[in-house]
Every structure is written in C-alpha cells, then in structure tokens.
Structure 1
Amino acid sequence: MDIPYQPDAMLVNKARSPSKYQDGYGMSYSEKEALKKLPEASGWPKLSGTREYDHMELIYYIDGLFIDIPRIPNYWITARLNTAFKGHASIWDTEIKEIHGRRNWHGRRVK
C-alpha cells in the first residue's frame, strides 16, 4: 500500500528518540560540557562604542572563548552578544534590528 505524500505530517513527525550520545533535547554530551564551561554573559567585557578601539577587548575575549572551549557553536556566542552592548552600542544594535529585522546574514558578503 502506498502512503500518500503529506509534507505537514512529515514535519510534525521529525522527532527522534535520543541516541546514547544525546540527552532528550538533542544536545550531545560534549555540547553540554561546553555549555557548562561558557561564562555567564553578564561577566563579558562591555561594548559601549564611546572609545575608538572599544570593540577590540570584546573581540579578543570571544576569540579566547573559541580557543578555551573547543567545538563551541557560533550561535551560543551570537545569542549572548546583545548583553555586551551598552550605551551607544546598544542604541546602534536596537536601530539595526528595527531597520533590517532579524535576518540571516550568512552568505551576503559583497566580493
């Protein structure tokens, strides 16, 4: 018997049982260990945008996180960036989101 094509049903039934390497939320054990090592975003250097090289401390800090915590996903960092913005940088971040919305900028570089 042929099963009819049902795209909506296929999307709903995507959930799989966790493997022995994952917890019930689909996060691998190595990711859970990396998440435990990631410092709270409140302790990150702040970016105010008032000094000329204000951003460099934050960039070096994030680079250090990638070195200290192997295999850390980029989205764990980008999701916490807005907590590091203070003052002018926070206003800039808010205005950019109002103008452009929440876009995926991947692959939009001009060559």
Structure 2
Amino acid sequence: MGQELLKEVPKLTEWPHFSGEEEYDHMEFIRGIDMIKQDFKVTDRLVKEIFNTLFTKSAHRWYMKLRQAHRPKLDLVETQIINKCANDA
C-alpha cells in the first residue's frame, strides 16, 4: 500500500465496529470492512491486525477465542461471523 493511500485510510474510530449485541447487522459490518479494503486497497493482513479494535463486547470475546484457536484468515473470520449470527438469530 502506497504512503499516500495509507494517509487516506479512515481512522479506526471511523471504521465499522461490531459488538454482536442488541440490534446489529453483521452483514453491514462485513460490507463496511470490504468497502474500506477496496476503496483504500487495505490488505487482509492490516484488517486482521485491527480486528482486535473493531470487535467490541461479546464479539470481541468471541473473536479472541477464535484467534487463539486458529489464527484465522480474514475470509474465515467473515464466514464465522455469518455462521454465528445466523445460528444466534
């Protein structure tokens, strides 16, 4: 990723966050991440490094367990979010 494009990437506070609680739309969270990745050419590696910040509350606890068990790739995390939210609904 070029330095100029990196300067344009939104601050972490402007990225979508996901708590997994109350009324939430997990697909909106995933689409938001995918849009930032495409618009600013953000790598999967960078997204994985900041997931710890993007997940909050129960979603953060869930992600930390997933991460400890698998060190998952981004597409696996997205699939796991969809599966978990579909099963919890």
The answer to whether TM tops 0.5 is yes
Q: Which residue of 2 aligns with 1:89?
A: 59
Which structure has the larger Rg? 1
Task: Compute the TM-score of the two structures, normalised by the length of structure 1.
Answer: 0.53
1:65 aligns with 2:36: yes
Unaligned runs of 5+ in 1: 1-29
Q: Percent identity?
A: 32
Corresponding residue pairs, total? 75
Unaligned runs of 5+ in 2: 77-89
**Cα deviations by residue, 1:41-81 (Å, 9 ceiling, x for unpaired):** 12222211124753222212112113322x43221222112
Change (3 A) 1:51 1:40: same
SS in 2 for 1:39: coil
Q: Which residue of 2 aligns with 1:79?
A: 49
Q: Alpha carbon RMSD of aligned pairs, Å? A: 2.6
Bigger share in helix: 2
Change (3 A) 1:104 1:87: closer
